[in-house]
Amino acid sequence: MRAIVALLWLLFPASLVAQAADPPAVLVSRQAAETLHLSVGSVVQVGPPDGSGARDFRVAGIYEPTPDPSRLGNAIYAVRLHLPDLLAMTSPPDAPKGAESVDAINVRLVPGSDPLAFSRDVNARLPGLAARPATDAGAAAGPFRVLERFHLAIAIVTIIASTVFLVALTVMLVDERRETVGVLRLIGLPTSRVLVQVLLEGILVAGVGSVFGLALSLVSEGLINRFFQWRYDTALLFVQVTPSVALTCVLIAVPLGVSATVLASWLLLRRNALRLARR
């Protein structure tokens, strides 16, 4: 069992401490290792902020902290050590055996178990403890749910602006082809036939546009993630183009593009064929 020690604990690099005979092992977060120039095998002193009870530890590994959205912008300086080592440092010397305390216990259930039923059982059997399924422990995700709604609102505004843009563009493009459409009508093609042609064109253009848009988003996904990961020194993914996101985009973009094209064409085709051909 390992415990995480917060950044409030003191860390001294190997050069500052005397080498112990066989110090116990700790894992050091990447950020702490970079700042303190630590590497595997270094000996560090870990202790509470007041320095009391500090002990030597050997760095057994450097780990990437689990990305935590609620700690965005804060470098995670942490070490992980065996719980008995932590308790040995923090418990008063005269503390009776069994008086140690921990903040939380993580439990992995056997496959097929019901986490909710288990937590109810623990709550009933052990008064004073609060057990809850890991899926309910996401209070820190609250701000990100809000941001999700904010981004959705921004996306809706962007879609509205894009729709206006698209309609303006199709109106102009269709208007440019009014003479061609007029001639097609004059040689006998019914309005529905012209509209089908426009529809097929619209599907083709919207499809190609969507593919291009997806390709652009895949390229920008990497750029944005790299920038923000560098900016916040985190392994968090800020943008992720998942298949469902891509599908949603296509399902919005293609019908929107086709509808705009057909609408603009229909407005044009309502006119008299002679007027369309400017005769």
Partner 1 sequence: MTVLPFAWRSLVRQPARTSLGVLGVAAVGALLFDMLMLSDGLIVSMRDLLERTGFDIRVTASGDLRRAGDRMHDTSATLDAIRRLPQVSTALAIRFVEAEADVHASTNPVPEGATGTIALTLEGVQGDTRPWTVVTGRDPVGNQEVVVSQALADTAHVGLGADLVVRARCAARDQVLPPARLQVVGIAEFPFELVGDPTAGGPMNVLDDACAGPTDEADVILASARDDVDATAAAVRDAHPQLNVATNEQVLGRLQRNGFTYFRQISAVLTVVTLAFALLLITVLLTVSVNQRLGEIAALRALGFSRGRVVADVLCESVLIVGLGGLISLPLGAALARGLDSILKTMPGIPGQMYFFVLEPATLGQHGALLTVTAVVAALYPMQIVARLPIAATLRDEVLS
- Structure tokens, 189: 């093609």
**Is residue 149 a contact point for partner 1 (CB under 8 A)?**
yes
Closer to partner 1 by CB, 146 or 247: give it: 146
The nearest distance, CB 173 to partner 1, in angstroms, is 7
Question: Shortest distance, CB of residue 222 to partner 1, whole angstroms?
Answer: 15
Bridge pairing between strands 25-29 and 55-63:
parallel
**Residue 78 and residue 65 in contact, taking contact as beta carbons nearer than 8 Å:** yes
C-beta pairs of 140-145 under 8 Å, 24+ apart in sequence = 140/68, 140/69, 140/70, 141/69, 141/70, 143/69, 143/70, 144/69
Closest CB to partner 1 among 63 and 266?
266
Cβ 179 to partner 1 shortest distance, Å? 9
Q: How far from the centroid of its chain's Cα atoms is residue 11's Cα?
A: 31
User: What stretches of the chain show up as alpha helix (H) in DSSP?
Assistant: 30-36, 83-90, 115-125, 142-176, 178-186, 191-232, 243-269, 273-276
Nearer to partner 1 (CB atom), residue 4 or residue 62: 4
96 φ, ψ to 5°?
Answer: -65, 155
Judged by CB under 8 A, the chain residues 22 through 81 that form the site for partner 1 are 72-74
Q: Which stretch binds partner 1 (CB under 8 A): 17-25, 27-35, 147-155, 246-254?
A: 147-155
Residues numbered 152 to 211 that lie near partner 1 (CB under 8 A) are: 153-154, 157-158, 160-162, 164-165, 167-169, 171-173, 175-176
Taking the least distance from each CB to partner 1, the nearer of 94 and 176 is 176
Q: What is the CA radius of gyration of the chain?
A: 32
The least distance separating partner 1 from the CB of residue 59, rounded to whole angstroms, comes to 27
Say if residues 16 and 22 touch (Cβ distance below 8 Å): no
Nearest Cα neighbor of 25 from 70, 76, 85 is 85
Using CB under 8 A, which of 137, 146, 218, 235 touches partner 1? Answer: 146
Contact stretch for partner 1 (CB under 8 A) within 17-25, 78-86, 93-101, 224-232: 224-232
Residues that bind partner 1 (CB under 8 A): 72-74, 128, 130, 142-143, 146-147, 149-150, 153-154, 157-158, 160-162, 164-165, 167-169, 171-173, 175-176, 224, 228, 231
